[in-house]
Structure 1
Amino acid sequence: MGMSVTISSAVAEDAEQIFKLQYLAFQSEAALYGNYRIQPLTQSLDSLREELARDIVLVARLGDEVVGAVRGSVDEDGAGAIAKLCVHPRLQGHGLGARLLRAVEEALAERAQAARFRLHTGRKSESNLRMYRKAGYVAVGGRTASDGVELVILEKEAAKEAADYAVSA
């Protein structure tokens, strides 16, 4: 009866849909902080296109519509950096964010041999913090973003099974 959501690598043609989704999905975060200068809302389309060309970018699709997205890259210290995880507001609360998170972790472990993952979220973003903790992330620090938002930095080690699989595959 209904369509299922699929997760795949983004292509250059997805840039505008990701851009619009990101703007829509991060409105609730901006409202939570009373700050509409947060980076996901001020990022340019050209900057997003550069990320698409350089980083691991995954999208969740419902038919032809991009309803979720996440970026992954490798930090200067070799950690898999996960950023801008977003899900369309009408699909939030159904596990799609957790699916995208697992998918980008797998891609970073496989393609970039990341042994640990790092991400950040706003200190007041309880639903995000809950999802990340449930996925095994622990707070390792904090910082204030250039837009003034207090961030929590979280990390987790890559699953041993995934590392073993990547070595044996």
Structure 2
Amino acid sequence: MGMSVTIGNATGQDAEQILKLQYLCYQSEAELYGDYSLEPLTQTLDALREEIDSTCVLVARLGPEVVGSVRGRVDADGTAEIAHLIVHPRMQRHGLGGRLLAAVEERLTAERAAARYRLFTGHRSAGNLRLYRRLGYAQVATEEVSRHLRRVTLEKEAPRSLAA
């Protein structure tokens, strides 16, 4: 039938495709919250290239096309902050988001000694919340960002066998 999706490190050459996909994927979030000034919709190409150079950025490819991406970094206390998990709308609901999340968790633990994972989403983002809870994340905080948005923080511990 066709190609399979592969997951690997992003390069500077992927930046434009990632940025376009990010813009596409965050339209529904912007609409949900009535806020089109969300950081993923205003990020510049140069800022994304810097992120690719300085953090762990993974992409999912279907042939040459970037159909998903995720980013992560680990702070001094071993907490991996995972962000910008995106999957092309036509590829959603086929497990790719879960595969990307597992891949970045594994990479951050193996290469950067992550002890726990933390991510954020909006309180109305039911699909995101469902996915994260299904993958073992638990809500640890809620912060009011604006009248229309509460940011939900979720965490889970890294497997000890990987972190050791």
TM-score normalised over the length of structure 2: 0.95
Deviations 1:71-111 (A, max 9, x none): 01013532011000000011111110000000000000011
Q: Distance in 1 between matches of 2:145 and 2:56?
A: 23
Q: Distance in 2 between matches of 1:71 and 1:42?
A: 17
Task: Give the SS at the match of 1:117.
Answer: strand
Does the CA contact (< 8 Å) of 1:70 and 1:104 recur in 2?
A: yes
Does the CA contact (< 8 Å) of 2:33 and 2:148 recur in 1?
A: no
| Offset, 1:51 | 0.3
| Offset, 1:143 | 1.8
| Offset, 1:130 | 0.4
Judging changes above 3 Å, is the alpha-carbon distance between structure 1 residues 69 and 146 closer, same or farther for their aligned structure 2 residues? Answer: farther
Residue in structure 1 matched with residue 14 of structure 2 by the alignment: 14
Does the CA contact (< 8 Å) of 1:38 and 1:147 recur in 2?
A: no
Deviations 1:87-146 (A, max 9, x none): 001111111000000000000001110010000000100000000001100011022347
Judging changes above 3 Å, is the alpha-carbon distance between structure 1 residues 79 and 146 closer, same or farther for their aligned structure 2 residues? Answer: farther
Q: Percent identity?
A: 60
Residue in structure 1 matched with residue 93 of structure 2 by the alignment: 93
Task: Give the SS at the match of 2:102.
Answer: helix
Q: Distance in 2 between matches of 1:104 and 1:126?
A: 22
Runs (5+) with no aligned partner, structure 2: none
Residue in structure 1 matched with residue 133 of structure 2 by the alignment: 133
C-alpha RMSD over aligned residues: 1.5
Runs (5+) with no aligned partner, structure 1: none
Residue in structure 2 matched with residue 51 of structure 1 by the alignment: 51
Q: Distance in 2 between matches of 1:127 and 1:35?
A: 18
Size of the alignment, in residue pairs? 164
